[in-house]
Chains A and B, each alone.
Chain A
Amino acid sequence: MTMSSLHPTLLFFAGAVLLWFLPIIGRRLLILLVPAAAFFVITQLDPGLYCNYQLFGFDLNLLRVDKLSKVFGYVFTINAFGCFLFAQHLKDRYEHTAALAYIGAALGAVFAADLISLYLFWEIMAVTSTFLVLARKTERSYRAAFRYVMAHIFGGLCLLAGILLQINATGSVAFDGFDLQGLPTYLILFGFLVNAAAPPMNAWLSDAYPEATVTGGVIMTAYTTKTAVYTLIRGFAGWEVLMVVGCVMAIYGIIWAILENDMRRILAYSIMNQVGFMICGIGIGTTIALNGAVSHAFAHIIYKALLWMSAGSVLYMTGKSKCTDLGGLYKTMPWTMIFGTIGALAISSFPFLSGYTTKPMIIYAGVNEGLIWVWLVLEIASAGVFLHAGIKFPYFVFFAKDNGLRPGEPPKHMLAAMALLSFICIFIGVYPQPLYDILPFGVVDYHAYSFEHTLNQFQLLMFSALAFFLLLPLLKRTETISLDTDWFYRMGGRGFYWLCDKVFNGFNDWAQKWLGQYLPGQLARYFDDPGGNFQKYGASMVAEAAGEEPDRELEERIIRRSRLSTYPVGGGVLLAVLFLAVVSFLYFF
């Protein structure tokens, strides 16, 4: 295997194993070295198909190199480097192993050329990322991780069903643009959309990510949803339904983010909002729209990790993540505040930061296609992003009411990681050309910085800020959580449990009472003295039939006789003869 066909996933998986044989200093180096080496390997890959293998009689390829898979490979490895720099303080191998395998699987999914390889990596991602939630080691995180992995297994099984039907229908395992609309492709689309956190299968994201560890949360934000964005670009570019899905997601994320109190949950909902923009771009499906979706995914991965890092630093230093418990942290965490604000402004697509050179490309594509409603929804969503992620997050965490917390800055390596990602945000914001140059769908004919457009954007954002501060009393944080679609499986799960409890345990109780206690009791009493009981009931029935009182004295005598077994021999002989007579009668006739 030469350098031009070395699979970057291999480095991550090998790193995950090697981690267990190294001392702490070696592990610290290794987790930085792996993404750096993988980045270098990806730059060296030549377009084409590599790593062939055979499975079920199909020729499969683990490594498809083209501009689309490469650009995701770049950003995944760059982000991994930043995340592992942020996670240098972690001593236990457990979390790093899960993180390396998870990122490796995400790369594997991006480079997989066929549906079966894609599915394998897809499920490895689901399982390994669950460990990043479990690593928090709290009761809440265990429960959230369980729901998380269930949601992903459900999505994965839909995907698998779709893949099998697709292979059955077309005889091909190729993973390219799908054009036949039917059950197989709908199932595949659904499987992808589950990982993209599209409503109604969105709640796993806001449920699980905020329960993950400080570093786990940072790592998870980038890979699952963006791998889904990649697969949607590859498979479903131009499917109009995605425009609707994307617009719904963009607005949905904003509304729920505004209701939230937990800072990491606010950021989780803003992932949904941002992925909405990308999915809308995929639905529009023109060259510029797809380039916009790819570049926005690139920018998003970086600034979102940056935002989660600043929130993670706050959580790491204070142990708190609710806005109602935070506030006034600018005094002792100024650098975290500055980096967090850079991320917040980047996500709001503030001019001179990365979001501004990528997101408007999608809106511009919608305008080009004459889609007024797409333009309208996305502009509203753009204003709303600034509201919830751009101002609300930094305002309530670093300013607002001082809750008396005086944590220091996080460790230096965390600040360095945030500085690195902040630099990338600013770099892409002021000089997007290198990013535009690696976009997969033709030459980018888009200029972000016309005076008019920049001015319009400033107006939109600053007056959104005005609305925020004027309506601040309405935005006061409350110690609440908001219901989301996870209600259906959380409460549905409980309802199912309750129903099963009532039906099956009720039946069990009934059976225990009647078949386990009453009936054997009766039988035991009867068989305790079957002959005597038989005679006694016979006598009382005869007496009843004759309209007389049962003869107590007779009963006493029957019982005594049967206890003492003082039956005359003749009675037994008579019964035996009668029995033989009946049997011989049945036998001979």
Chain B
Amino acid sequence: MKNKKEFDWFDHPQNIKRLKIGFYIVLVLLVVPDFFMHKHTLFSSVEALPGFYALFGFIACVVIILVSKLFGLALKVKEDYYDDE
């Protein structure tokens, strides 16, 4: 039946590895300019530190995931929770 091989680029481990490396390079490149430019601050001088928003985003997400995980312990129930008997 299959005349054409399906597109499965993301299923190959070496491609995922390439993506990962590319991703890390992008992350580094995003922080590098911070060391060379003058940054404006909104509320505190901490914001001017290089990579502030990178760190902020990372920590915020880690905290959000951990907090949700914690909430999940109490809130997650089986799918048939509301079903009758």
Asked if A and B are interacting partners, one says yes
Are A331 and B6 closer than 8 Å at their CB atoms? yes
Are A463 and B65 closer than 8 Å at their CB atoms? no
Residues of A within 8 A of B26 (CB): 462
Per the 8 Å Cβ criterion, residues 30-73 of B in contact with A are 30-31, 33-34, 37, 39-40, 42-43, 51, 53-58, 60-69, 71-72
Among the interface residues B27, B64, B77, which one has the most CB atoms of the partner chain A within 10 A? B64
Are B71 and A255 closer than 8 Å at their CB atoms? yes
Beyond A258-B65, A459-B53, is A480–B8 a contact (Cβ under 8 Å)? no
Complex CA–CA separation, A469 to B79 (angstroms): 26
Would you call A367 an interface residue if the criterion is a C-beta within 8 Å of the partner chain's C-beta atoms?
Answer: yes
Per the 8 Å Cβ criterion, residues 473-494 of A in contact with B are 474-475, 478-484, 490
Residues of B within 8 A of A380 (CB): 60, 63-64
- Segment at the B interface, from A17-25, A220-228, A313-321, A450-458: A450-458
Complex CA–CA separation, A61 to B65 (angstroms): 49
Among the interface residues B30, B31, B34, B63, which one has the most CB atoms of the partner chain A within 10 A? B30
Q: List the B residue with the shortest CB-CB distance to A363.
A: B42
Are B40 and A463 closer than 8 Å at their CB atoms? no
Closest CB of chain B to A204's CB: distance in Å?
15
Q: List the A residue with the shortest CB-CB distance to B47.
A: A456
Closest CB of chain A to B61's CB: distance in Å?
4
Would you call A81 an interface residue if the criterion is a C-beta within 8 Å of the partner chain's C-beta atoms?
Answer: no
Residues of A within 8 A of B76 (CB): 259, 478, 480-483
Beyond A258-B68, A384-B64, is A466–B58 a contact (Cβ under 8 Å)? yes
Q: List the A residue with the shortest CB-CB distance to B38.
A: A452
Residues of A within 8 A of B65 (CB): 258, 387, 467-468, 471, 474-475
Are B79 and A480 closer than 8 Å at their CB atoms? yes
Per the 8 Å Cβ criterion, residues 378-437 of A in contact with B are 379-380, 383-384, 386-387, 399, 402, 406
Q: List the B residue with the shortest CB-CB distance to A456.
A: B53
Are B56 and A259 closer than 8 Å at their CB atoms? no
Are A387 and B64 closer than 8 Å at their CB atoms? yes
Are A259 and B75 closer than 8 Å at their CB atoms? yes
Would you call A464 an interface residue if the criterion is a C-beta within 8 Å of the partner chain's C-beta atoms?
Answer: yes
Closest CB of chain B to A262's CB: distance in Å?
10
Would you call A254 an interface residue if the criterion is a C-beta within 8 Å of the partner chain's C-beta atoms?
Answer: yes
Would you call A334 an interface residue if the criterion is a C-beta within 8 Å of the partner chain's C-beta atoms?
Answer: yes
Q: List the A residue with the shortest CB-CB distance to B55.
A: A463
Residues of A within 8 A of B23 (CB): 462, 465-466, 469
Residues of A within 8 A of B33 (CB): 455
Closest CB of chain B to A344's CB: distance in Å?
16
Are A334 and B7 closer than 8 Å at their CB atoms? yes
Main secondary structure of the interface of A (DSSP, over half): helix
Are B56 and A480 closer than 8 Å at their CB atoms? no
Among the interface residues A370, A475, A481, A490, which one has the most CB atoms of the partner chain B within 10 A? A481
Are B54 and A479 closer than 8 Å at their CB atoms? no
Would you call A330 an interface residue if the criterion is a C-beta within 8 Å of the partner chain's C-beta atoms?
Answer: yes
Closest CB of chain A to B28's CB: distance in Å?
10
Are B69 and A384 closer than 8 Å at their CB atoms? no
Complex CA–CA separation, A328 to B75 (angstroms): 28
Closest CB of chain B to A206's CB: distance in Å?
12
Per the 8 Å Cβ criterion, residues 222-276 of A in contact with B are 254-255, 258-259
Are B78 and A480 closer than 8 Å at their CB atoms? yes
Closest CB of chain A to B67's CB: distance in Å?
7
Complex CA–CA separation, A384 to B63 (angstroms): 10
Would you call A461 an interface residue if the criterion is a C-beta within 8 Å of the partner chain's C-beta atoms?
Answer: yes
Closest CB of chain B to A456's CB: distance in Å?
4
Q: List the A residue with the shortest CB-CB distance to B66.
A: A474
Residues of B within 8 A of A386 (CB): 61
Q: List the B residue with the shortest CB-CB distance to A371.
A: B43
Residues of B within 8 A of A458 (CB): 30
- Known A459-B54, A460-B56, A490-B82; 18 more pairs at CB < 8 Å: A255-B64, A255-B68, A259-B75, A331-B7, A334-B7, A375-B42, A379-B60, A380-B60, A387-B64, A387-B65, A406-B6, A452-B39, A457-B53, A462-B27, A462-B30, A478-B76, A481-B79, A482-B72
Residues of B bordering A, CB below 8 Å:
6-8, 10-11, 23, 26-27, 30-31, 33-34, 37, 39-40, 42-43, 51, 53-58, 60-69, 71-72, 74-79, 81-82
Instruction: In the A-B complex, list the 7 residue pairs whose CB atoms are closest, starting with the nearest.
Output: A467-B61, A460-B57, A459-B54, A463-B57, A459-B53, A258-B68, A463-B58
**What would be 17 A-B contacts, judged by CB atoms less than 8 Å apart?**
A254-B64, A254-B68, A259-B71, A330-B10, A370-B43, A372-B43, A379-B60, A387-B61, A402-B11, A451-B37, A452-B39, A455-B30, A455-B53, A460-B54, A465-B23, A478-B76, A482-B76
